[in-house]
Structure 1
Amino acid sequence: MRAIVMTGVGGPEVLVAQERPVPRPGAGELVIRVEAIPVLFPETKLRSGEFPLPVPAPLVFGFEAVGTVTEVGAGVDTGWIGQRVAVATMGFGTYAESVCVPAASATPVPEQLSADAAAAVLMGGSVALTLLAAAGLTGSETVLVQAAATGVGAALTQLAAEHGAARVIATAGSPAKLAQARKLGADEVIDHSDPDWPARLREILGGATVDVVFDAIGGTTSAALLDLMTPLRGRMLSYGFLSGAPAQITAMDLIGRGLTLTGCAGPNWLAEVASARPAALRRAAAGTLIPLIDSVLPLSDAAAAHARIDTRAAMGAVLLRP
């Protein structure tokens, strides 16, 4: 079968198409014929070496895929065969024509949802639902959604009001993305490509405060937001490092203001995200969560897909199709 192998750490050029054996399922596993593969922002960080790889290169790359079950191993219900499912791995194996995964990681895809739509919404929707559950909105809060035009941020912007946000302020990095965030449900938008964008947030708030920050940027910007958050009730959920570093905040920064910071990472967090995948797919099938697709490229163009993500030009999911 054709697969994309990460030959080492570096730029998109380290992703090389190679022939690999078709995987066979072991006990508790299933194999899918892949139809759509989302190219995810964290994958670009693994490829570049900014995040540590779970296993050493060379390896068949990729976190997620959508396809049809073709074979099951011992102990797996044969009723899976022929079903369309979304699957997730720990960072390797899905950039390929066929993928073998534990059956427990497979999520059925609703009949009315295309493979492309399922792939586009799988991570963003499940992470957003988990973040909203952790935020515990009550119906009166002002929330700040960073990087709100695509991925997790786009899903948050679509779902925040339904989950209790009274006012959604969104950031994005270009005029087109600002327009998209507003279309998705943001009440106000801010261009976060301006390094002084927290000052613009202060102007928009007009003396009010932010109750919940969904922090996708991290770095020094996170600390600049603390004085704009609601004392004693304000909470920041840190889940992304678009700046290249996590939130640069100390315990004393929080204690003195009566704020909380929730770190949204690690195995327990990922387990919560996994449990939200069925709900994300159901919402996409029902039309209450819109999958945003920027482009669909052949599997052999994985390097080009990564390059597009690296430039942050994509207006939605970049997908690979075997």
Structure 2
Amino acid sequence: MQAIVMTGTGGPEVLVAREVPEPRPRVGEVLIRSAAVPVLFPETLLRSGAFPLPVEGPLVFGTQAVGVVVEVGDGVDAGLIGQRVLVASDSFGTYAEFVCAPAESAVAVPEGLSSVEAAAVAMSGSVALPLLETARLTGTETVVIEVGATGVGGYLTQLAKEFGAARVIATAGGTAKMRRARELGADEVVDHSDAAWPQRLREILGGTTVDVVFDSLGGESASALLDLMTPLRGRMLSYGWLSGAPAQVTAMDLIGRGLTLIGCAGPEWLAGVARARGAVLDRAATGSVTVLTDRVLPLAQASEAHRVIGERLTMGTVVLRPDGIAE
């Protein structure tokens, strides 16, 4: 079968299309014929070496895929065969025509939702829902959503008012993404490609304060927002560091202002994200969220997918399709 092998850490060129043996499901696993494979931002960091790989390479890369179950391992309900599912794998192996993954990770894809749409929405949407639930918005609050036009931020922007935001201010990089954030529901948008964007946010607030910050940029900008947040009840949910470093915020920074920083990471957090996958697929199927797909590429062009993501050229998820798959 065709698969994408990560030959080492480095640039996108380390992802190479090769013929490899078809996997067989072990105990507790399903085997799917893959129809759509999302290319996820965290995967680009693992490929680059920014984070250590949990398994040794070279290896078939990728962590999620959508397809039809064609075989099951011992201990798995044979009734899954023939079902279209989303699967996830902590041990990689999803950039391939056939994918083995734990049966417990399999989530049914609703009728009316294409495999490409399911692949595109699953990760970012399933992070957005727990973030919004954790924020506990009251219906009267102002929120700032960083990177609010694409990825997790794009779904936060779409859903924030449903979950209780009164005013949504998004950040986005450049004119096109600022326009997209407004289309998705932001009341105001700040261009975070300008290093002085926190000052621009201060001007937009006009003396009011921010109650909740969904922080995916991290770095120094996080500390620059603290004086714009509502004393005693302001909270920052930190779930990413696109700037290259986590939020540069100390305990004293928070204590002195009566603010809360919530770290959205770790095993318990990831378990909640996994539990949200079914809900976000249902929302996409019913149209209560708009699926943000940037482009669909052949599986063999995985390195190109990583390149455009790394250069911040995308407006949604890039999805890979194995050869010969049509829907």
TM beyond 0.5: yes
- Who is 2:249 aligned against? 249
- Who is 2:92 aligned against? 92
- Who is 1:316 aligned against? 316
Opposite residue 46 of structure 1, the aligned amino acid is L
Is 1:43–1:91's contact at 8 Å kept on the other side of the alignment?
no
Q: Distance in 2 between matches of 1:269 and 1:311?
A: 28
- Who is 2:205 aligned against? 205
Q: State the SS of the aligned residue for 2:156.
A: helix
Is 2:88–2:102's contact at 8 Å kept on the other side of the alignment?
no
Which runs of no fewer than 5 residues in structure 1 stay unpaired? none
Is 1:235–1:259's contact at 8 Å kept on the other side of the alignment?
yes
Opposite residue 71 of structure 2, the aligned amino acid is E
- Who is 2:290 aligned against? 290
- Who is 1:53 aligned against? 53
Question: How much does 1:91 deviate?
Answer: 5.6
Q: Distance in 2 between matches of 1:147 and 1:285?
A: 24
The root-mean-square deviation of aligned C-alpha atoms, in Å, is: 0.7
TM-score computed with the length of structure 1 as normaliser: 0.99
Q: Distance in 2 between matches of 1:259 and 1:253?
A: 8
Opposite residue 116 of structure 2, the aligned amino acid is D
Opposite residue 2 of structure 1, the aligned amino acid is Q
Matched pairs, number: 322
Q: Distance in 1 between matches of 2:51 and 2:167?
A: 34
Question: Following superposition of structure 1 onto structure 2, how do residues 53-132 of structure 1 map, counting pairs within 5 Å?
Answer: 53-90=53-90, 92-132=92-132
Opposite residue 167 of structure 2, the aligned amino acid is R
- Who is 1:160 aligned against? 160
- Who is 2:325 aligned against? none
Question: Following superposition of structure 1 onto structure 2, how do residues 302-313 of structure 1 map, counting pairs within 5 Å?
Answer: 302-313=302-313
- Who is 2:171 aligned against? 171
Question: Following superposition of structure 1 onto structure 2, how do residues 11-30 of structure 1 map, counting pairs within 5 Å?
Answer: 11-30=11-30
- Who is 1:227 aligned against? 227
Q: Distance in 2 between matches of 1:91 and 1:37?
A: 15
Question: How much does 1:198 deviate?
Answer: 0.1
Deviations 1:247-292 (A, max 9, x none): 0111000000111111111111100000000000000001001111
Identity, % of aligned pairs?
A: 70
Question: How much does 1:100 deviate?
Answer: 0.4
**Pair 1:237 & 2:230 matched:** no
Deviations 1:4-31 (A, max 9, x none): 0111110000001111111111111100
Deviations 1:117-158 (A, max 9, x none): 001100111000010011111111100000111110000000
Which runs of no fewer than 5 residues in structure 2 stay unpaired? 323-327
TM-score computed with the length of structure 2 as normaliser: 0.97
Q: Distance in 2 between matches of 1:101 and 1:291?
A: 24
Is 1:46–1:53's contact at 8 Å kept on the other side of the alignment?
yes
Opposite residue 72 of structure 2, the aligned amino acid is V
